Amino acid sequence: MKLIILHGPPGCGKLTIAKALSQELGYSVMHNHLSVDLALSVYPEFGHGDFFDFVDSLRLMSIKKACENAQKGLIVTQCFDVELDIAPFNQWLNVLSEFGGDVAPIYLDVSVPELKKRVTNESRLGTNKVQCPLMLDEVINKYKFGPIPHPDTFIIKSENLTVSETTQQIKHAICW
């Protein structure tokens, strides 16, 4: 299986790009809020207790199941914290290795001023996504978002690119 991991801070366009890539590549999308929203249905609040362990286990089980079901590819979106998320990422790599899969970590690099504009987009209303600049500041100050430390990580400065231009860069970067 081919696993594309679109990662970056809130508002960088992970889900938008994932949907466009899905259309072009025929891969399924597992965006980060599927697992977060499920966890929020059984935890009193974001981050409570072993919330992140639960989210990580959901994501790992889903990637493993996609491999077992011989899916062609899966696009996962994530706000990757360079300290907290390296262990779960390594578990994903172990599962992929077990099934002979490949990974392509793609970091969407967008400036904080642009992120502050994007998080107020109407498409985020009614979701559990960051929806205001103040909340974005809190999240950015609390977590250490950055590129996945992996030799195949590709960084795209996507701030001034169209969705189509970004997806084309990703397709060009993936050497499968």
What confidence score (pLDDT) does residue 125 get? Answer: 66
pLDDT at 130 over 80: no
Is the pLDDT reported for residue 128 higher than 80? no
For the chain, what is the domain count?
1
Residue 155, beta-bridge partner list: 107
Q: Which residues contact 55 (CB under 8 A, 6 or more apart)?
A: 35, 36, 39
What's the whole-number mean pLDDT along residues 116-140? 82
pLDDT of residue 75: 98
- Could you give the CA distance from residue 53 to residue 55 in angstroms, rounded to a whole number? 5
Per-residue pLDDT, averaged over 8-15, amounts to 94
Domain with 119 in it: 2-171
Mean pLDDT of 129-155: 91
Query: In this structure, is residue 176 part of a structural domain?
Result: no
Of the candidates 6, 34, 12, the one whose C-alpha atom is nearest the C-alpha of residue 117 is 12
Secondary element (H or E) of residue 5: strand 2-7
The residue ranking higher by pLDDT, 58 or 175, is 58
**Tell me, what CATH number does 39's domain have?**
3.40.50.300
Cross-strand bridge partners of residue 62 = none
Specify the pTM: 0.92
pLDDT at position 176, please? Answer: 65
The SS3 assignment for 130 reads coil
Q: Indicate if the pLDDT at residue 36 is higher than 80.
A: yes
Tokens linked to 91: 């578990």
CB 21 within 8 A of CB 75: yes
pLDDT tens digit sequence for 76-88: 999 999 999 999 9
What integer best gives the mean pLDDT of the chain?
93
Per-residue model confidence (pLDDT) at position 12: 94
Does residue 56 fall inside a structural domain?
Answer: yes
